[in-house]
A and B are shown apart, each in its own frame.
Chain A
Amino acid sequence: MSEQFRICPDTGLKLYQSTETLIKANAVAAVVFLLVGGIYGLLVGLTRWPAVHLLPADWFYLALTGHGLNVLIFWLIFFEMAVLYFASSVILGSRLAVPKFAWAGFALMLIGALMNNYIVLSGEASVMMTSYAPMDAHPLFYLSLILFAVGALLGCFVFFGTLVVAKEEKTYEGSVPLVTFGAITAAIIAVFTIISGAIILIPTLLWSLGFLAEIDALMYRLIWWAFGHSSQQINVAAHIAVWYAIASIVFGAKPMSEKVSRMAFFMYILFLQLASAHHLLVDPGVSSEFKMFNTSYAMYLAVMASMVHGLTVPGSIEQAQRAKGINAGLFEWLRRAPWGNPTFSGMFLSLIGFGFLGGISGVTMGAEQINILVHNTVYVPGHFHATVVLGTTLAFMAMTYWLVPVIFRRDLIWKGLASWQPYLFGLGMAGVSLFLMGAGTLGVPRRHWDITFSMTGGEVYEFPAAANTLLALNGLSVALAVAGGAAFCLIIVGSLLFGRKLGPDEKLATPHIATPPSDADYEKLGNGITVPGTLVLALVFFAAFAVYYFINWKYLAETWGIS
């Protein structure tokens, strides 16, 4: 049963027909849910802007629920399915194991996502993404998430199956490529995520149907976060795999060393998911030992891994650039990078935003005691808009620009707009992240419709005036980011519909994948410090991290005594 495949004229990749169709279906579904989630996000941002205060309360909580689920779950997981199929079947040049399962998974995910959107929009499930028991939603809400999760699990099985097929049919020699290894990391985290989701959502469904008397609220939080937080760790592993892929695509870069990058991913496999405890740091019922061990991802070994990836990805780019002769000064390699190519600029902005804004804020507020200052304030969404939007979403957007000609055989339309899009989206989202974090340090609660307390009959708390300013700036940034997100959706959907069709053997005008420097080129770099520019950037990052970390301990020391 030999399956149809073609060789991509631009990249030389071997593309099996069923893989290609599945990648197309998942990527298109992803972009559609990104669009829906983005519209909800705009409504949320404009409502939290006190001078605009767009939506009434019930619609605000509905929109916030829809926003979280559509972007955090549906957009990202659909895209990650495409990444998994790409990283297994396409990179390894193998047929996909049981495409039928992959289609069944896709169907379940689509039904789940549509059902979820229906029940949320009906107003019977405005319970936020977290749906904390004993607050109850319509049973269809839990059912839709279970269906979606089972679909995603099928996709993971197909991914692991494809690894077996590729090895048995010897489509590659030796170890899998690093990008595939990153995808394996993401898929492993996904399996843990989905199992945890099943453990908690199935009883919750039964409870909402009346078959179970009670769901323990604390137990729900513990297990739900093994699902809710880990699902964001799938994103981290997947977008770092995408960073490595883009460094290779745009620069022909190779990993600085296989061992270091793979061990860093291995640290993720071991410890990244422990960070689910970040959500329980000010909860009753769990000990400080549990909190400290898990919030530190076991002595920060997974944080170390992220910081290693943060060095080796730009480091591999610097090495490749220098090997090609762009060797002057500290940063000439970076200055002469293709900043007009959205695949590169999106990836690099993702790297900077994820590290400087998302990483530093996340690890700092993940210290057991510092969390007291910001738990459930808008600081938290500020943090994760840097990790999962500026980081993951922008990286996935960058990858999509590259995939359109390869997989869909369409030329991109509006290339000028596309070259600006990552900056527009990145700047907007950096604003969202910074301004929300700023408002959070002033105590502004998250998921809150009215911080002027106009409905309490005169019992009010007056936030510092700066809080209103920060939320207004956040509203403007949301508008900017949504413009960037809309531009992305328009360019991609427009290219799929109206982009010039590329002939089966037609090559693009410019090379679509870089030629790697030769071994001899790399040897010229010598054995010492080959990436001085990256080292300087890393040291700047470290200084920012350390200063910010200790400033927060100082803030903490100024508040009431708590014991």
Chain B
Amino acid sequence: MDEDQESVPLLQRILDNPFILLAIGVAFPAVLYLIWGIMEIVSVPLAN
């Protein structure tokens, strides 16, 4: 069984693990959309 696991290609192992996928699936949009967007909004300058 363990030898079996060894020979499974890395990407298949990632796709077979729902919790790695969950972490990636929350982290990606959190960084690329939410955090990036929030940083841009808070850096809007004051009108003079």
Determine the distance from Cα of A222 to Cα of B25 in the docked complex, in whole angstroms: 18
Q: B12 — nearest CB in chain A belongs to which residue?
A: A175
- Could you say which of A160, A226, A262, A266 contacts B33, with CB atoms under 8 Å apart? A226
Determine the distance from Cα of A399 to Cα of B15 in the docked complex, in whole angstroms: 26
- Could you say which of B22, B30, B32 contacts A160, with CB atoms under 8 Å apart? B22
Overall SS of chain B's interface: helix
- Could you say which of B24, B32, B38 contacts A274, with CB atoms under 8 Å apart? B32
Contact A181 B15, beta carbon cutoff 8 Å = yes
A205 within 8 Å of B (CB atoms): no
Determine the distance from Cα of A303 to Cα of B22 in the docked complex, in whole angstroms: 20
Contact A191 B41, beta carbon cutoff 8 Å = no
Known: A184-B21, A266-B15, A285-B44. A293 touches B32 (CB 8 A): yes
Q: A229 — nearest CB in chain B belongs to which residue?
A: B33
Contact A196 B34, beta carbon cutoff 8 Å = yes
B26 shortest CB reach to chain A, Å: 5
Q: Which of A149-208 contact B (CB under 8 A)?
A: 160, 163, 175-176, 181, 184-185, 187-189, 191-192, 195-196
Query: Which residues of B lie under 8 Å from residue A218 when comparing CB positions?
Result: 41
B45 shortest CB reach to chain A, Å: 10
* A interface, size bucket: 35 or more
Query: Which residues of B lie under 8 Å from residue A459 when comparing CB positions?
Result: none
Contact A160 B12, beta carbon cutoff 8 Å = no
Query: Which residues of B lie under 8 Å from residue A176 when comparing CB positions?
Result: 16
Query: Which residues of B lie under 8 Å from residue A175 when comparing CB positions?
Result: 12, 15-16
**Chain A 216-247 interface 0/1 with B at a Cβ cutoff of 8 Å (1 = within):** 10110011001000100000000000000000
Query: Which residues of B lie under 8 Å from residue A131 when comparing CB positions?
Result: none
Determine the distance from Cα of A455 to Cα of B24 in the docked complex, in whole angstroms: 52
The count of chain B contact residues (Cβ–Cβ below 8 Å) is 22
B14 shortest CB reach to chain A, Å: 8
Contact A269 B38, beta carbon cutoff 8 Å = no
Determine the distance from Cα of A230 to Cα of B15 in the docked complex, in whole angstroms: 21
A169 shortest CB reach to chain B, Å: 16
B16 shortest CB reach to chain A, Å: 5
Q: A199 — nearest CB in chain B belongs to which residue?
A: B34
Interface residue ranges, A against B (CB under 8 Å) = 160, 163, 175-176, 181, 184-185, 187-189, 191-192, 195-196, 216, 218-219, 222-223, 226, 230, 262-263, 266, 269-271, 273-274, 276-277, 280, 284-287, 290, 293-294, 298
- 9 tightest CB-CB pairs across the interface, nearest first? A188-B25, A273-B29, A269-B25, A222-B37, A192-B26, A184-B18, A286-B40, A285-B44, A188-B22
Instruction: Please name 17 pairs of A and B residues whose Cβ atoms are closer than 8 Å in the assembled complex, sorted by A.
Output: A160-B18, A184-B21, A188-B22, A191-B25, A192-B25, A192-B30, A196-B34, A218-B41, A219-B41, A222-B41, A230-B29, A269-B21, A269-B28, A276-B29, A277-B37, A290-B40, A294-B37
